[in-house]
Amino acid sequence: MKLLEERIQKDGIVKAGNVLKVDSFLNHQMDIDLFNAMGKEFKRLFGTVGINKIITIEASGIGIACIAAQYFGVPVVFAKKSQSVNIDGEVYSTQIESFTHKQVYNVIVSKKYLSPNDNVLIIDDFLANGCAMNGLLDIVRSAGATVAGIGIAIEKGFQKGGETLRAQGYRVESLAIVDAMNDETGEIIFRTQG
């Protein structure tokens, strides 16, 4: 998606350790006009697969998911990070390892809001090694729901998350795929997409 790539080129900051900071428009301050353009693009990509729900994970996926949901006319469910484990059987839960924060945390979705009748689109802001996405997929599978697709704002194409998910047969559409970046020159190279 040209608009997003241009914005990443303009306002993204490449830092050492393969860090791409986009917190001026995507995941701290949020440019809602850009989110609307992204939502329309997700609708163009996934508009014909009959989704009835969008699933995301707190916190930075929520804004993108809510804006996108307007184009699909469906509700959003966000997976919650939780201190507690599933003790009462009322939630689906999984564990996600965060490389950024160097810790493992529990993620839950209430059983009330995900069922075998659901055909879901999973949306998140970033896809890198795929740890968060694998956790979401684990929850969706536990519910017996169907994954119609995975929509990502920015994929780090040089990490293995996207490749692995596609090899497993998931339809992953990333609005921008960064294939390489250089924290000394600030250069960002995007994958050419159809």
Q: With CB under 8 A, what is the number of residues at the site for its own copies?
A: 35
Give me the least distance between CB of 78 and its own copies, in Å please: 7
131 binds its own copies (CB under 8 A): no
Is residue 68 within 8 Å of 39, Cβ to Cβ? yes
CA atoms within 13 A on the CB side of 119: 9
Nearer to its own copies, 74 or 131 (CB): 74
Report DSSP state, residue 108. E
The full length of the chain comes to 194
Binding mask 147-166 for its own copies (x = CB under 8 A): --------------------
* Non-local CB neighbours of 26 within 8 Å, separated by 6+ positions: 34, 60, 64, 125, 153, 154
69 binds its own copies (CB under 8 A): yes
Return the sign of the alpha-carbon dihedral for residues 57, 82, 134, 117. Answer: negative
58 binds its own copies (CB under 8 A): yes
**Residue 140, amino acid:** V
When binding is defined by CB under 8 A, the residue of 95, 110, 115, 168 that contacts its own copies is: 110
- Catalog residues that contact its own copies under the rule CB under 8 A: 23-25, 28-33, 35-36, 58-59, 62-63, 65-67, 69-70, 73-78, 80-81, 83, 101, 103, 109-110, 112-113
